[in-house]
Amino acid sequence: MDRKIEKKKWPPKKIAIYAGGGLILFIILYSFIFSDKSSRLNVEEDKITISSVKYGPFQEYIPITGTVQPIETFLLDVSDGGKVVTKYIEEGAFVNAGDPILKLDNASLTLNIIYNEANVFQQINSLRSTRLAMEESRLSLQGQLLDINHSLKLQKTTYENNKVLFDKNLVSKIEYENAKDEYEYLLNKKNLTLETFRKDSIFRTLQVEQLEKSVSTLEENLNITKKQLEDLTVKAPITGQLTSLNAEIGQSIAPGANVGEIDVVDSFKVRAAIDEHYIARVSPGQTGEFTLSDHTYRLIIKKVFPEVKNGQFEVDMNFNGEVPKGIRRGQSVQIRLELGELSQALTIDRGGFYQTTGGQWIFVLDPSGDAAYKRDIKLGRQNSSDFEVLEGLKKGEKVITSSYDTYGDVDKLVFK
């Protein structure tokens, strides 16, 4: 008797097919969900620069370029203009204080001196005449007083005698009163003459004082004019080198014009231009250094010029200690200007990566050393060799500091 054979729902072959399909789907899903989807780039390890994150002493400074200048420069300005008639020395010569350099001629100034001298002589003569008149008036009044005193003395005797005689009825009343009136008249005349003498003396004294002041003022004006005439001969105010002379024979020089410069040659300073970004962080007393002929020289900021031109401001720096031998005006030096105190900090080497990332991120090597991954960081202070790391890195980690220009927008670098 035949028996019906039931067909199996899940034969081994079918199970194997479904299992294989499920495994493939699982692999695809796993790869989609858990695999590394970041963009990557293969690079040659010998063509990149790898640096370690360090912790140690850090000094913030910026590189600036300075120009050597004399410690002091004196400008040769002429107070009064004129025509150049003599040049005693040429540009570049060394001069001593007081040496003549130029001589100018100014006809108008010469005429002023003659005019002022005439005014002085005229005023002096007026003063002498006034003093002579004052003396004559004084002598005349004194003579008058002498006569009045003599007459008063005689009249006083007559008056007193007549009074005694009048009391005894030996003289008439009219004779007595005439003697009294004459005495009182002479007494009043004396008082009036004294008052006239006093007022005349005051007036003459004031007149003399005014004339003396006038003479003094005119003499001062004359001396100033003579000094202006002397200043037409331009002389060296200091000992130094005449580094500039802008005048030729026959040239007309305007009043107040600059005709040259004299430099103090036994000492120097350095003038440097600094980016305006640092203007709030630069002040007198800050120091810097530069290297010349394998020797390091120290500088200190003495003056900061606050005016900003073309995005830069200037500072004057004096040598703090030894001055290089043979240094010359106009010579350029590369200065490391310190912006802060020496401190401990986490740092990485400077490199071309900064031009691409702006210090916002960097490639960090994984522990295996076979690849590097992009990581966000935060940088702080800097100097010519290091960046200060504020966030994102730890001491001992390795980073790529060479240029990222050819990497594009990748997240992972794999070393060949």
Q: Tell me the domain boundaries of the chain.
A: 38-60+343-415, 62-71+267-338, 73-104+233-262, 108-230
Distance CA 292, CA 327 (A): 10
Distance CA 274, CA 299 (A): 15
Predicted pLDDT at 297: 93
Q: How many helices (H) and strands (E) does the chain have?
A: 4, 24
Q: What is the pTM of this model?
A: 0.52
> What is the assigned CATH class of domain 73-104+233-262?
mainly beta
Total Cβ atoms within 10 A of residue 66? 24
Local structure of 57: helix, strand or coil: strand
In angstroms, the first-to-last Cα distance of the chain is 75
Q: Extract the tokens encoding 205.
A: 């004294």
Q: Please give the backbone phi and psi of residue 401, each rounded to the nearest 5 degrees, phi first.
A: -110, 0
Predicted pLDDT at 19: 66
Q: Please give the backbone phi and psi of residue 109, each rounded to the nearest 5 degrees, phi first.
A: -65, -40
Burial class (CB in 10 A: 0-12, 13-18, 19+), 168: exposed
Distance CA 203, CA 341 (A): 77
CATH code for the domain defined by 108-230: 1.10.287.1490
DSSP 7: P
Q: Indicate the CATH number of 38-60+343-415 among 2.40.420, 3.30.1490, 2.170.150, 2.60.40.
A: 2.40.420
Local structure of 12: helix, strand or coil: helix
Do 101 and 258 contact (CB within 8 A), yes or no? no
DSSP labels for 100-122? EEEEEE-HHHHHHHHHHHHHHHH
Distance CA 314, CA 327 (A): 21
Q: Extract the tokens encoding 34.
A: 């858990």
Contacts of 100 (CB under 8 A, 6+ apart): 88, 233, 234, 235
Strand ordering across the sheet containing 73-77: 73-77, 258-263, 240-245, 94-95
Superfamily of domain 62-71+267-338, CATH level 4: Efflux pump adaptor protein, beta barrel domain (2.40.30.170)
Distance CA 49, CA 51 (A): 7
List helix spans (H) across 261-413: 353-357
Do 315 and 305 contact (CB within 8 A), yes or no? yes
Predicted pLDDT at 205: 79
Predicted pLDDT at 400: 94
Parallel, antiparallel, or unpaired for β 361-365 and 371-376?
Answer: antiparallel
The segments of the chain whose pLDDT lies below 70 read 1-38
Predicted pLDDT at 34: 47
Q: Which helix (H) or strand (E) holds 183?
A: helix 173-231
Total Cβ atoms within 10 A of residue 256? 10
